[in-house]
Chain A
Amino acid sequence: MSSIEPPSPETLSGFFRECAAIVGQEWVKVGEDEVAPYGWVAIPFDTAAHMPAGAICPHSADEARAVVMAANRAGVALWPTSTGRNIGYGSSSVADPGTVVLDMRRMNRIEDFDPDLGTVVVEPGVTYHQLQEFIEANGGGYWIDFPGPGPIVSPLGNTLERGHGVTPYGDHFAHSCGYEVLLADGTTFRTGLGGVEGTTSWQSFRYGYGPTLDGIFTQSNFGVITKMGLWLMPAPETYRTLMAVWPEYDDITRLTDCIRDLRMDGTIQTEGVMGNAGIFMAATHRRSDVWDSREALPQELAINTAKEFGLGAWNYVFTLYGRADRVEADYTEAKRRLEAAGATVTDGRDEQAINELTLKSFALFNWTGGGGLTWFSPVAPLRGADMKRQFDLVRAVMDRHGVDFMVGVAFGERAALNVMPMAFDRGDAEWMGRVRDCYTELVGQVTEAGYGIYRTSLGWMDEVARRHGEANLEVNRRIKRALDENGIIAPGKSGIRS
């Protein structure tokens, strides 16, 4: 594992002086009090393990380019962030010591809104809240799709992490179109059709000519993305949110097969989200009130409590969109088939599905208190037997480590992202250590069982990368060396170093 060496204090000081001349002294954060908040994390590692060496806050793509070129000359590593709120995956902290945060929050322009095509270009520091206000101020007619911490995070940042929401535009990467990329040597280029002089279609056709490059800049460290095109969802004529509840844990097999078929034939257009009883408990209770123990929350307790509230072991919330006649027809069909698979189906409400910004996902922090949260996020093919096999495996490991089994399932058409929050008290070193050990064992067991991992946190990126194929990692290293010879952009991101 080769990586750029941490810079000497003299090198770092010289770099910071050069940056001050580019962005202004007040936007070079070097004091301990100024830098420490950039090391704020929810993940189960001490902040010192991933603390940045400073932060630089450019205001424009030109300033960012000058900073990146200075870093490349000095051999100082930069960790680009948008809003820096990759919460539970590492926030704005860094993989390797000596890395300086490139905080692009001040780059917050929204450009090139096309009201006919529903496209827009955003800089890294734009938040979903800002984007929603911009759309409304410019005539509305479009909805945004946002992740759990939507109001305070960045569409560009979330898309580059390949985040998801719950509307038909929930696969954020699939609804981005055209990136402006800054490479370590200062080269700037635009993906897709952005390279055509006077381009008319940068935001309307993703693939461009020749190799399609957008994907290699996601969950990646090959360049810094300074602008991103984004597709907006036309506001639907109507919608209807439903909740399908299955009472028992073993229902996972038949419900998976049923939902897969509804997704594949297009009756249900969205991933939606299915929470297990553990998620319900975490969102509505304090752990110490219902299970004051170092053992994992018993699923029977969670399920029985959920049933008292009219919920069950599995609670699938999804929304149908479109013209009234289509929504009605899809409702009738979905309800019939879900009920045939054992569900109770009722009308529901989900703000995230209907363009109403919310931070309700932060309720997870109340479960344990103490601000500890990380996400274990394996992928499963949408076969009932596979979902049950994966959950059985995970539960056994979590039970052994005393970690509560919670999962929110995002149903693609052929694969599920099984996003499992692991909550804990960061002030309790023993608990934090158990979560860490549990996560590490899960990475091994799940991949050895043939499943991949959708996304991971600082602290596990090297191991997760290794588990996804040595040859794959080596190809990534070769691309890294070609595009970032000195390895200064986010060393260690997704396990990739030059």
Chain B
Amino acid sequence: MNRLAAFCILPAAVATAALAQNADEASGIPARTPEQVWASSCGYCHGGPMNAPQLRGRGLPEQLVVFFVRNGANGMPPFHQSELDDETLQALARWIHESPAPPSEQPR
């Protein structure tokens, strides 16, 4: 490990699609695909060399994902309905359940 990798803990490089300012006017919550939710939050820790558990490619039960997102776990804060509605969360949980592990990730 070189000195900077050791010190800085490089995060995942996360590509994101532009989605700013398209919040649903009734709820105030942006309409987002699972990939967009992943890119804007989960993927920072669960998608790269951070030591957060890898989630994709493990067939995680959807309800388990929903529970941890809503209630938090260890260092992960909860994500409330005021930022992630039930429908979007359910779609995210299904996407995580069904996603294969990316080539760079090995489930641990």
- The answer, yes or no, to whether B104 is at the interface (CB within 8 Å) is no
Q: Determine how close the nearest CB of chain A comes to the CB of B56; give it in whole angstroms.
A: 17
Alpha-carbon distance A125/B79, docked complex (angstroms): 13
Consensus secondary structure, chain A interface: mixed
Q: Which residues of chain A are near B4, meaning CB under 8 Å? A: 243, 348-349
In the complex, the answer to whether B82 meets A57 with C-beta atoms within 8 Å is: yes
A32-70 near B? 1/0 per residue, CB < 8 Å: 001011101010000000000001010110000000000
In the complex, the answer to whether B77 meets A85 with C-beta atoms within 8 Å is: yes
In the complex, the answer to whether B3 meets A311 with C-beta atoms within 8 Å is: yes
Segment touching B, from A3-11, A168-176, A353-361: A353-361
Alpha-carbon distance A55/B74, docked complex (angstroms): 22
- The answer, yes or no, to whether A133 is at the interface (CB within 8 Å) is yes
In the complex, the answer to whether A106 meets B73 with C-beta atoms within 8 Å is: no
Number of B residues, CB within 8 Å of A: 40
In the complex, the answer to whether B83 meets A370 with C-beta atoms within 8 Å is: no
Q: Which residues of chain A are near B50, meaning CB under 8 Å? A: 359-360, 362-363
Tell me the chain B residues, 36-58 only, with Cβ under 8 Å from chain A. Answer: 40-41, 44-45, 50-52
Name which of B3, B19, B77 has the most chain A CB atoms within 10 A of its CB.
Answer: B77
Alpha-carbon distance A232/B73, docked complex (angstroms): 34
Name which of B7, B23, B27, B52 has the most chain A CB atoms within 10 A of its CB.
Answer: B7
In the complex, the answer to whether B21 meets A110 with C-beta atoms within 8 Å is: yes
- The answer, yes or no, to whether A161 is at the interface (CB within 8 Å) is no
A129 and B6 in contact, given A103-B82, A358-B11 (Cβ under 8 angstroms): no
In the complex, the answer to whether A103 meets B80 with C-beta atoms within 8 Å is: yes
Alpha-carbon distance A53/B92, docked complex (angstroms): 29
Q: Which residues of chain B are near A189, meaning CB under 8 Å? A: none
- The answer, yes or no, to whether B61 is at the interface (CB within 8 Å) is no
In the complex, the answer to whether B20 meets A311 with C-beta atoms within 8 Å is: no
- The answer, yes or no, to whether B29 is at the interface (CB within 8 Å) is yes
Option from B18, B44, B74, B82 in Cβ contact (under 8 Å) with A106: B82
- The answer, yes or no, to whether B1 is at the interface (CB within 8 Å) is yes
- The answer, yes or no, to whether B64 is at the interface (CB within 8 Å) is no
Q: Determine how close the nearest CB of chain B comes to the CB of A232; give it in whole angstroms.
A: 14
In the complex, the answer to whether A106 meets B9 with C-beta atoms within 8 Å is: no
- The answer, yes or no, to whether A440 is at the interface (CB within 8 Å) is no
Option from B9, B28, B78, B81 in Cβ contact (under 8 Å) with A108: B28
Q: Which residues of chain B are near A349, meaning CB under 8 Å? A: 4, 8, 10
Option from A34, A57, A129 in Cβ contact (under 8 Å) with B40: A129
Q: Determine how close the nearest CB of chain A comes to the CB of B48; give it in whole angstroms.
A: 10
A137 and B20 in contact, given A151-B40, A280-B6, A360-B8 (Cβ under 8 angstroms): yes
- The answer, yes or no, to whether B33 is at the interface (CB within 8 Å) is no
A280 and B7 in contact, given A59-B27, A151-B41, A357-B44 (Cβ under 8 angstroms): yes
Alpha-carbon distance A351/B21, docked complex (angstroms): 25
Q: Determine how close the nearest CB of chain A comes to the CB of B76; give it in whole angstroms.
A: 8
Option from A108, A133, A317 in Cβ contact (under 8 Å) with B16: A133
In the complex, the answer to whether A40 meets B7 with C-beta atoms within 8 Å is: no
Residue of A nearest to B36 (CB): A133
B58-75 near A? 1/0 per residue, CB < 8 Å: 000000000000111111
A134 and B45 in contact, given A108-B28, A360-B50, A362-B50 (Cβ under 8 angstroms): no
- The answer, yes or no, to whether A83 is at the interface (CB within 8 Å) is yes
Alpha-carbon distance A442/B21, docked complex (angstroms): 44
Option from B20, B29, B78, B83 in Cβ contact (under 8 Å) with A133: B20
Q: Which residues of chain A are near B18, meaning CB under 8 Å? A: 133, 136-137
In the complex, the answer to whether A152 meets B7 with C-beta atoms within 8 Å is: no
Q: Which residues of chain B are near A83, meaning CB under 8 Å? A: 83
Q: Which residues of chain B are near A34, meaning CB under 8 Å? A: 81
- The answer, yes or no, to whether A18 is at the interface (CB within 8 Å) is no
In the complex, the answer to whether A362 meets B75 with C-beta atoms within 8 Å is: yes
Tell me the chain A residues, 339-370 only, with Cβ under 8 Å from chain B. Answer: 346, 348-351, 356-360, 362-366, 369-370
Alpha-carbon distance A366/B9, docked complex (angstroms): 12
Option from B7, B11, B74 in Cβ contact (under 8 Å) with A283: B7
Residue of B nearest to A152 (CB): B41
Q: Which residues of chain B are near A125, meaning CB under 8 Å? A: 28, 82-83
Q: Which residues of chain A are near B80, meaning CB under 8 Å? A: 37-38, 55, 57, 84, 103, 105
A370 and B8 in contact, given A106-B29, A110-B21, A309-B3 (Cβ under 8 angstroms): no
Q: Besides the contacts A108-B23, A371-B75, what 16 more A-B pairs have beta carbons closer than 8 Å?
A: A40-B71, A42-B75, A55-B80, A84-B80, A133-B16, A136-B18, A243-B3, A280-B6, A284-B9, A310-B3, A357-B44, A359-B45, A360-B10, A363-B51, A366-B51, A369-B74
Pairs A–B under 8 Å by Cβ, sample size 10:
A26-B81, A127-B40, A133-B18, A152-B41, A284-B1, A310-B2, A310-B3, A351-B11, A359-B11, A371-B74
